[in-house]
Each structure stands twice: as structure tokens, then as C-alpha cells.
Structure 1
Amino acid sequence: MKNHFLWNILFEDSWIGRRLDKLIELGFRIIRWSKKVVVPGFDGIPLYDVMTFFLKSLVKGNIGAKASGIAYNFLAAIFPGIIMLFTIIPFIPIENFQIMLMGLLEDFLPNEIWRVVNKTVEDIITRPRGGLLSIGFIMALYFCSNGISGLTNAFDSSILNFKTRSWFKQKAVNIFLILLYTILLIVAIGLISLGSLTFSFLNEHH
């Protein structure tokens, strides 16, 4: 009885109580509104059901474990990928490409770090190493393939069903995506180098 009386004093007959009632009523209005609204692309399913399914998927879909596995595989692929990229640079048949890359790295890295890694980077990108390139390529392909497999499996799975592909089809998709990302990375590096040359040309002639 005392607790009920205290509740009436603190909430029901006070400014806080009136605000709480309005917030609760607003929440019910939003729920009723979301049950009537249909978002395009969801086959006539109300927004309320879509959000409910999304929240249940976050809770029951083991999102954290999937994200951890994907992050681990891609992190493991970074280092062999870097080895592969640096060892492939001496084989690029572009005049003064290595010199331009050294200048780009010098501008990008802090001076203290550049003094430490200067000789090592110069040795790696100027001396061809076929064996190291093969090892880096195989390791990068393996770990990247595992990372993309985890990523596609996470996207294909849900709490209701799980879409599967054959092993060969999965590997073919993974290799295609890896090659696509590699091409995009090479193009991006080329555009960065081209941008530096363009700015240098404009500074010299204007």
C-alpha cells in the first residue's frame, strides 16, 4: 500500500509521470504505425515485422562469432599479401616505377620509420625474388579465399535457412573476387602515382 502511494506521488501525479505516459503512448503509436507501413522491396511485409526479424537475427544469428572469424582470416591474409605485392614490384616493366614508388613511400611514411625501413624496402622492390613471390602468392590466395568464404557464408546464412554452394563453385567465386580486388588495388596505386606525377607536372609548368 505504501509503495503504491509512493508511486502515485512520484510518477502518476507529477511532471515525470506525465512525461513517461507520453513517451509510452508515443512508443505504442510508432509500433502501430510500423505495422501499417510497407517498405518497398520486402514483398508487402510491414516494417514492424522486418525490424523484428532483423533484431532476432542479430541476437540468434551469432553475428559476433562470424565477424571474428572473417576478421581473423583477412588479418592473416594481410602479411602474405604485402609480401606478394612488394615482391611483384621488381617484375613490373614500367620505367622508373620503383623510383616513383620509393618517393611515394617516403612521402607517406614518417621520417623516423622511413630511415629504418629504407634499405629493406629498396632491396625488396628492386631485386626480383621468384621463390618468395610464389610463397607469398600461395599464402595470400589461401587466406584470402578462407576470408571470402567466411564472408559469403555469413551473408548466405540466416536463422531460417542456409544457402550452400559446391566446393568448386565456392572456390571459383572466391578466386574471381580476389582477382577483382587485386586489379582494383593495382589501379588505385597507379592512380595515386599518376596523381603525384600530374601535380608535379602542373607545379613545373604553372
Structure 2
Amino acid sequence: MSKKKIDTSAFKRFFTEHPVVIGVKKYAKENSFIGFHGVPLYDVVVFVINEATRDDLFTRANSVAFSIFLSLFPSILTLFTLVPFALDFLTIWFPALENFNMTLYEEIKRVMPGQAGDIVFGFVQEITNSPKVGLLSFGFLLAIFFSSNGMLSLMQAFEKSYVKVFRQRGFLRKRMVAVGLTFLVGIFIIASVVLVILGDSIIGWIDYYTSMGGFTRFLINAVRWTTMLALYYIIIGTLYRYGAATIKRFSYVSPGVTLATILSLATSVAFSFYIDGFNRYDTYTKFYGSIATIIIVMLWLQLNALILIIGFELNAAIAVHRDLTQVDEEE
């Protein structure tokens, strides 16, 4: 008995002949958004869809997420081995930094779902509370190497074959950039925690002398969320600007960075609410046992890796059409 084929002609006609679809396509071909450098919205969307289909967006995201997961703890070991020495020095001038660990825990819990944040923070706390001078040796160099593997995988996901827009990096240069970006991201994270602590201290000092009451809590939350948003934006902008091997560097303020920042922050908050608010961690624990936390972290990393690649593809679409148009005009 032969299988009956499904007739998709009506479905295709709807997306090619429907007046609403035709109107949307016409608008997209004739209009551009702020930051698109005059590139029509239609060209950008078609480019992103074609690149996502050709390069298999989900496979790239899975690869990046797995590499970042393997390099997560070496990265923490590398970055936070030096933190205790810096805190001992800075606490002399800023006593409020004694609350560094507690503030770091709160910020980690804001973005990492379920017990994943507790496990990551436990590892960080062990390092920061007990400075390990012995790690500043050959083992420390190995930790630096392995911690940069996740960043290296992300940089490879940013590679394109458009020679007018993208260039190739050698192995050594690529590794050096990956190490530099890993340290830079870590510095941004630590700096954001320090800024939150100092911001809370300043607001507390103002409250002590002015008794702002409920307005103080609003300011504290505003400072924290503004810092979190700025942190996301700066980190993602740095990854796109220096991680992608482009002839003309991507701007810090770009549609791709804006889209990825909003989606990443919203996804992290929503995912944390889903895991914590609906007690999904207990459900996963019943099915997966002790590896439930690993699964949750992997899902969270995969979502964020996918968002980073989507934001990059948006920037790449704009850059390719912009630069190729300039080349055609010059010729």
C-alpha cells in the first residue's frame, strides 16, 4: 500500500499569494531599521534563515554549549584563584567588599536555574575563601588553556567564508584571542559584583542620612538590574567585536548585541522561574538522579549559545550586505 503524499500547495500559496504576506514582504524590501546601515529588512531575514539552514544553527549551538560546559570549572578555577589576593588589597579601602561572596551568590542565582547556581557558587566559594598559591604554577597554565576551549568553540561558530567581510586567523592567534576574551569576560563579571556592592553601600549611606524607606529598595533593585543589563550588553558586544574575525569590527552598539542581550537576559530569568517556580528541579531529580543539575546547566548553556549565534547572524547579515554593496558601488 503506497503512502499518500500530503498536498502542501495550499500552504505554499498562502505564503506566496496572500495579500497580507505580499504586503509584509513589500514593506520589508523597502524599509530598514535603525542600525541596519540601510540594508532592507527582507535581505537580513533571508540571509539569517539561509545561514541558519546551511550551517545548522542547533548543531553549532550544541557544540558551543558542550565546549563551554567542559571549560566552565577550569574557567572558574583560573579566574577566581586570583580574586582572594585582589579582595585582600581592595577591602582595605572598601570594607563593603567583605560581602563579595554573598553578592556573587545572589547574582549567580539570578541567572542560573535550580541547584546549578548553588553548585557553581560552592566551587567559587571554596576557591575564594582558601587562596591556593600552589595553583599559580604549571597547573594554572593548563587551567588557562582548558578554560579557553569554550571561547574558542564560540569563535569558531562565528566564522564565515565571505572574504570581503571576514578574515582567517591562525591557530596561535585564535588561541590567544580566546584566552584574552575568557579573562576579559571574567573581569567584567567580577567588576559588576564589585559595582553592585559599592552601589548598595552608597544607597545605604544615603538612606541612613535621608531615610528614603521603600524608595531605597527600589533604587537597590534598579542598580542591580541596570548593572546586570549593562554587564550582558558589554560582554556580548565584546564577544562579537573581538571574537568574530571580521575585517571591520562590529560596533558595541548593534542590532545583534541588542537582540542577544534582551533574549539572553529574558531567557535566563524565565528559565530560572520555570525551574524554581514550578519545582522542576525535584521532577528532574526523580528521573535523572544526581545528574539533574548537569542537565539543567546544559539546557541553560544551549539556550544562551543559540541566542548568541542568532545575534551574531543578525550582525553578519547586516555587515555582509553593507560591505558587498559598497564593493559593488566602488566597482
Give the TM interval when normalised to the shorter protein: 0.5 to 0.7
CA offset digits 1:153-198 (Å, max 9, x no partner): 222226x778531112212222232232232223212101211221
TM-score scaled by length of structure 2: 0.42
Alignment match, 2:200: 196
CA contact (8 A) 1:77 1:139 kept: no
User: CA 1:167/1:42 → structure 2, altered by over 3 Å: closer, same or farther?
Assistant: farther
For 1:203 and 1:70, the matched residues in 2 are separated by 45
Measured at CA, do residues 84 and 200 of structure 1 come closer, stay the same or move farther in structure 2, by a change above 3 Å? farther
Q: Flag the 1:66–1:144 CA change in 2: closer, same or farther, 3 A.
A: farther
Question: Is the 1:73–1:147 Cα contact (8 Å) retained in structure 2?
Answer: yes
Paired positions, count:
179
Is the Cα–Cα contact under 8 Å of residues 73 and 143 in structure 1 kept in the other structure? Answer: no
Corresponding letter in the other structure for 1:170 = K
Equivalents in 2 of 1:133, 1:97: separation in Å? 27
Aligned amino acid, residue 87 of structure 1: T
Displacement of 1:47: 5.1
Structure 2 CA distance for partners of 1:63 and 1:134, relative to 1, 3 Å: farther
| Structure 2: gaps of 5 or more residues | 1-13, 110-114, 116-121, 211-331
| Structure 1 residues 123 and 186: alpha-carbon distance in aligned structure 2, compared to 1, 3 A threshold | closer
2:155 matched residue in structure 1: 152
- TM-fit CA distance, 1:98: 6.5
Name the CA distance, whole Å, in 2 between partners of 1:28 and 1:120.
55
Q: Contact (CA 8 Å) 2:77, 2:127: kept in 1 or not? A: no
SS at match of 1:164: coil
Q: Is the 8 A contact 2:78 2:147 kept in 1?
A: no
Give the superposition deviation at 1:144.
Answer: 4.0
RMSD of aligned C-alpha atoms?
A: 4.2
The 1-side partners of 2:67 and 2:173 are apart by 20
Is 1:63 aligned with 2:63?
A: no
> Unmatched 5+ residue regions in structure 1?
1-19, 114-118
Change (3 A) 1:51 1:124: closer
> Identity of paired residues, percent?
26
2: distance between equivalents of 1:109 and 1:26?
Answer: 45
SS at match of 2:152: helix
SS of alignment partner, residue 156 of structure 1: coil
The answer to whether the 8 Å contact 2:151/2:178 transfers is yes
Correspondence for 1:16:
none
Higher relative contact order (CA 8 A, sep 6+): 2
Which letter maps to 1:104? T
Residue equivalent to 1:104:
103
For 1:82, give the aligned amino acid: I
The Cα shift of 1:61 comes to 1.2
> Larger C-alpha radius of gyration, 1 or 2?
1
Query: What is aligned with 1:125?
Result: 128
- In structure 1, the partner of 2:185 is 181
- Note the C-alpha offset of 1:66: 0.8
* Distance verdict in 2 for CA 1:47–1:90, change over 3 Å: closer
**Regions of 4+ moved over 6 Å:** 106-110, 119-123
**Displacement of 1:149:** 2.1
Corresponding residue for residue 141 of structure 1: 144
**Greater CA deviation, 97-106 or 58-67?**
97-106
TM-score (norm 1): 0.63
